[in-house]
């Protein structure tokens, strides 16, 4: 498959002016089409992304990662692309890992390929590692199958399969929702090892607010089966 003409990188970000330019430049070495969704930034993120060669879609205010992903997926579909590779805009995902996702999808026929950090989990902050494992165990139980890393946002998704999927969330929990929805629909999901990169800048995940929102989603999803 000619991935350069069939796939766009979709990068949702908020206030990542310090990182987004070099990330876009590095990603474009693998996927020329890069869509950056500026989720209400106030620091020049959109300008830096555009200078590096990305198409920029902007939200006038912060709507959440899930909403930003939806905007990016919609734009990739409008451009006639079949796949979207999503990654974070803070430098925690290595663009050099992109070929592994493309090769996995091509060789396995997976509709969703997710990066897994757990083979190198010692590089993750201790609390993030424990929370990730706990959430992954909970989702594995709901899915009825063992999942390697349910919370990684570095993913390759088939847009046709995505279009047939109903999603209700707009923030970080959308990644868990998407994973369970694909499994429930019988779509093939694969995992590929990726590098573990953590910078000194604070995470965009709010430990109390976002964890609480995820737990409410999880309890609701568990009740509905």
| 125 vs 23: CA distance, rounded Å | 22
Distance of alpha carbon 108 from alpha carbon 189, whole angstroms: 9
What is the pTM assigned to this prediction?
0.89
Confidence of residue 57 (pLDDT cuts 50, 70, 90): very high
Can you read off the two tokens belonging to residue 17?
A: 């002016």
- Looking at residue 164, the DSSP 8-state letter turns out to be T
Beta-carbon contacts of 204 under 8 Å, excluding residues fewer than 6 positions away, are 14, 65, 88, 90
Question: What distance in Å separates the CA atoms of residue 151 and residue 184, rounded to the nearest whole number?
Answer: 17
Task: Please give the Cα distance from 22 to 221 (Å, whole number).
Answer: 38
- Residue range 191-198: mean pLDDT, rounded: 86
Radius of gyration of the chain (CA): 16
pLDDT at 1 > cutoff 80: yes
Q: Residue 67 sits in which domain range?
A: 3-224
The Cα 207–Cα 83 span in angstroms is 31
According to DSSP, the β-strands at 155-158 and 112-116 are antiparallel
Longest C-alpha distance within the chain, in Å?
Answer: 47
Q: How many domains does the chain have?
A: 1
Lowest mean pLDDT among 8-17, 131-140, 156-165, 175-184: 131-140
- For residue 212, pLDDT over 90 is answered with no
84-142 pLDDT per residue, tens:
999 999 988 999 999 999 999 999 999 999 999 765 655 666 667 777 788 889 889 88
Q: Is the pLDDT of residue 163 over 60?
A: yes
Q: Residue 164 maps to which CATH number?
A: 3.90.550.10
Closest CA to 199 of 120, 94, 59, 90: 90
Q: Evaluate if residue 203 carries a pLDDT over 60.
A: no
* Percent of the chain topping pLDDT 70: 85
Query: Residue 207 — pLDDT band, cuts 50, 70, 90?
Result: low
Confidence of residue 167 (pLDDT cuts 50, 70, 90): very high
Report the Cα 45 to chain-centroid distance in Å: 18
């Amino acid at each position: 498959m000619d991935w350069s003409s069939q796939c766009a990188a979709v990068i949702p970000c908020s206030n990542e002016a310090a990182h987004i330019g070099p990330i876009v430049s590095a990603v474009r070495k693998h996927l020329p089409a890069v869509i950056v969704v500026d989720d209400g930034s106030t620091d020049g993120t959109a300008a830096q992304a555009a200078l590096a060669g990305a198409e920029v879609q902007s939200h006038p205010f912060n709507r959440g990662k899930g909403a930003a992903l939806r905007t990016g997926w919609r734009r990739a579909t409008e451009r006639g692309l079949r796949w979207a590779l999503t990654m974070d805009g803070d430098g925690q995902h290595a663009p050099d890992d992109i070929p592994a996702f493309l090769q996995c999808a091509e060789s396995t026929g997976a509709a969703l390929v997710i990066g897994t950090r757990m083979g190198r989990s010692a590089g993750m902050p201790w609390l993030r590692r424990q929370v990730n494992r706990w959430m992954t165990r909970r989702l594995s139980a709901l899915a009825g199958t063992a999942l390697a890393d349910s919370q990684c946002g570095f993913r390759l998704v088939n847009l046709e399969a995505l279009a047939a999927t109903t999603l209700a969330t707009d923030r970080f929990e959308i990644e868990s929702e998407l994973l369970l929805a694909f499994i429930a629909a019988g779509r093939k999901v694969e995992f590929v090892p990726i590098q573990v990169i953590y910078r000194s800048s604070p995470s965009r995940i709010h430990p109390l607010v976002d964890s609480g929102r995820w737990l409410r989603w999880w309890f609701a999803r568990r009740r509905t089966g």
